[in-house]
Amino acid sequence: MTALTLDNASIMEAVVSRLVDQFMRTDDQLYEEVERRIGKKIDALFLQKVEPRIQKELDKALTDCFHREYQKRTAWGEPDGEKTTISKELERLMSNYWSETVDDKGKVSAYSEMTRAEYTMAKVTGEDFKDQMHRYLVQGAAALKDGLRAQMRSQIDTMLANLFHVQTAQDKAEGRYK
């Protein structure tokens, strides 16, 4: 016969095992609720602890990448020009892009005095001005149309009253020709 030893760890293991077997196999709803709550807790912990660390490392990697020096090379692997960084190159390219001279259609032209920045601003403000003028013209035309309609209605009523010299029920209701 073997000696029966009962310690706290083996009792706890047996109780937990039986509870898990009993509840998790017979009650799917309880299992789903526990799974959902554990998932929410894991998501919250991830957002609270892991995501800021990832963002910090990404920011550091991007900063290092943009500020690390490099030197352009020729097709044969020889150095070409001075050492620079990606951020300096981007700044130079963008500065050149906006200061390039363009024609009235926005295409690069050596014969024009307008920069791309000036062209873009002129185009944006010109389109805004055109849109506003269109809106004002439509509003003015609508007011003119309403005014003409009212004036014509008044003139036609007067002409009909003079022509027929009869007061109709509509004339009486609208208070005309008293």
pTM: 0.36
pLDDT band at 77 (very low <50, low <70, confident <90, very high): confident
% the chain with pLDDT above 90: 3
**Does residue 129 fall inside a structural domain?**
yes
**Does residue 47 fall inside a structural domain?**
yes
| 63 and 115 within one domain | no
| 54 and 107 within one domain | no
Number of domains forming the structure of the chain: 2
Please tell me the distance from the alpha carbon of residue 155 to that of residue 21, in angstroms, as a whole number: 95
Residue 149 has a pLDDT of: 92
**Does residue 134 fall inside a structural domain?**
yes
pLDDT of 153 over the 60 cut: yes
Provide the greatest CA pair distance for the chain: 132
Q: What is each CA distance from 50 to 36, 37, 40, 43, in whole angstroms?
A: 20, 19, 15, 10
What are the beta bridge partners of residue 84? 70
**Does residue 88 fall inside a structural domain?**
no
Can you say how many angstroms the Cα of residue 50 is from the centroid of all Cα atoms in its chain? Answer: 27
**The domain containing residue 52 runs over which residues?**
15-67
Q: What is the mean pLDDT of the chain?
A: 81
Pairing mode of beta strands 84-85, 69-70: antiparallel
**Does residue 151 fall inside a structural domain?**
yes
Q: In sequence order, what are the residues at sequence separation of 6 or more whose Cβ sits closer than 8 angstroms to the Cβ of residue 116?
A: 97, 98, 99, 100, 101, 102, 106
Q: What are phi and psi of 168, to 5 degrees?
A: -90, 175
Pick from 26, 51, 67: which residue ends a domain? 67
pLDDT of 102 over the 70 cut: yes
Most confident of 21-30, 104-113, 150-159, 160-169: 150-159
**Does residue 19 fall inside a structural domain?**
yes
| 149 and 105 within one domain | yes
